[in-house]
Structure 1
Amino acid sequence: MMLVVFLVDWEQRKLGDEFVKVNERNNGQFAKDKWISVAKMYFQSVDKVQSNNIDTRTYVMRMGDIAFEGHPNKDFRFGRFVANDIGDGVVSELFPIYRHIGKYDLEYWKYAIHLERIMGPILSKSITSSGNSSNKINEHHFLKHRINVPNLNEQRKIGHLLKELEIALTLHQRITSYVEWAFHSAFFFIEKVMYDWEQRKLDEISTRVRGNNGDMTLPTLTISAAMGWLNQKERFSGNIAGAEQENYTLLSKGQLSYNHGNSKLAKYGTVFTLENYQKALVPRVYHSFDVSTAANPKFIEYLFATRKPDRELRKLISSGARMDGLLNINYDAFMSITISVPMKEEQERISRIIDGLNDSITLHQRIVPP
């Protein structure tokens, strides 16, 4: 959006040279099926259109027209302009309509007229409060302001580029949503079609991990429900273990810990495998365990990520979280829960599938940050 800085053939133009306010009334040519919802720019469902005065209390909004939507929010402090890119229709007369005077590129103006960085300073000097949650715009003040505008050829190039970017972002967002859905669905589907899954208590496939070898130079980690293992120095700008570090548990690569802390993302705690370190020190309050002999660690982590074991964990809670934020689930109780698992070879195969889905989620989140 910094194109204005680099293109020398843009010129400052008055908005009044680009737009004119129009008050075109509906003469019966548009029925309720052409009622435009300005906020999200789509044709409203007929059964949701309340107005009985569609011919007299509405303005016609043509393709390419822009409408001022005066409700302020965190992204648009003074309201915003929205361009009509869906076709001719009608809008409530509460929305003032402006129409292009000369030739223009719709895709360019759709984005330019919507940018808070461009329009915010102009609107701040052009609106008046209406006494409710919506602002009104002063037509004369608005149209006298100047903005940088490229020539028509540049508008078309920029508009095309922005349209392609919007399509790409939408595609990646849909892919990310699909992959996340596939990740959580995979276990349920695979478990349903596999007839040889067994009900096993967690302690039947686990051994406890506790204590340490006295090496306090190892990285000290903590679990985030959203991000997994994090180095305390990175998360808290320093090691918060203090003297308690001597009591931390030495965890080796491939071993797991259950953080029985309650959070919005993990109501009954979360399980993560140590992957990025050969050895590390983790809080003693975590229930740390090793499944490498009888099970695949990543499979167990992914199983807990589906929240399938939550029903078992919920049974163990006799009261709410303790003062330290941890659920009242001790190690023995945690190990007593029953989980459904296939043969170890199947666990490894399923883990590879989920790994691929997880990699896809990570890739698309990098392309489209949350």
Structure 2
Amino acid sequence: MTTTQAAVVESAGADFTLAEVDLDDLRADEVRVQMVAAGLCHTDLGVAAGGLPFPLPGVLGHEGAGVVLEVGAGVEGISTGDQVLLSFTSCGACGNCRDGHPAYCATWLPENLLGGTRRDGTATVRRDGAPLGSHFFGQSSFSREAVVDQRSVVKVDPEADLRLLAPLGCGVQTGAGAVWNVLAPRPGASVVVLGAGAVGLSAVMAARLTPTTTIVVVDRVASRLDLARELGATDVVDASELAGASLADALRDLTGGGADGLVESTGNTGVLREGVDALASRGTAAVVGAPPFGEQVALDVNAMLAGKRVVGVTLGDSETQRLLPALVRLVHDGRMPLQRLVAHYPFAEINRAVADMVSGATVKPVLTF
């Protein structure tokens, strides 16, 4: 058993509290990682606020990056001293995992988002002998050290800048994967991105690397729209200035009659409906923003008969062992300027990072250890 320091959420709505915790001994399929950096994501905030039934008190964090300290007996391809990025876990055995779609693993929800334990019901983190909610996305990386499921681990180059690359584990691959794996724009296509947060701006950077010729970004924050232009948007829409006009009409005008592809990252069902209405015939809306559980959206069925598709997308429908190394290379080569989104915060200042993320002052906070 290893003692370390973690950021614990005691109850729904509480701040993060730094506390001494104990990590369980490694199982054969786990590794112990010393964290270098961990991105802060809206999913972490949603769980901390009580919006998802993850067991609290608990340790969150699912965009970890660090150095391997110890390797379980059954782990292959990962060694002590390796630099790694951490992402979601999966069973590796169900149909979707075997088909290369582990984000739709049969065990995805309990293994990553809701369970708070290993699949056998044991916790990876304890405090004063009592189990804490843990194993979040197979990692619970808001901790100086973490016990991590091997399927959450992606080995990267020893020279890779982990302080910059940590967000690849969730937010960046979600936006990029939605464009590359789901929309797959054809030459001359139009792509609309609803929401200019970390996920939406990652989608913009990814779209810029495709043969699409029109990239439209919608947000309510002028500074983020300016950043979207710098990252590749050809047009922007400030939703706060639409007055009584329809967002769908504005998007149809900018895309020459309708968008071929759309990424909805706001989690606002009203915005989603406007986006679907703005699709061209045979256009696809990739829904990555998650509203509170139980929210619904009404669609114009007759308009859908024009071949429109609305596709829910988890983590960019990514196969992490292929996508994350590609993203690392694109960032390293300057083709995805991820540094434009990231601001660093010492681990002890996690609550300031949360406040800056909520206020919009920071696009992607990254905690450093």
Settle same-fold status: TM greater than 0.5: no
Whose strand fraction is larger, Structure 1's or Structure 2's? 2
Give the TM-score, by structure 2 length.
0.20
Bigger RCO of structures 1 and 2 (CA < 8 A, at least 6 apart)? 2
State the structure with more CA Rg: 1
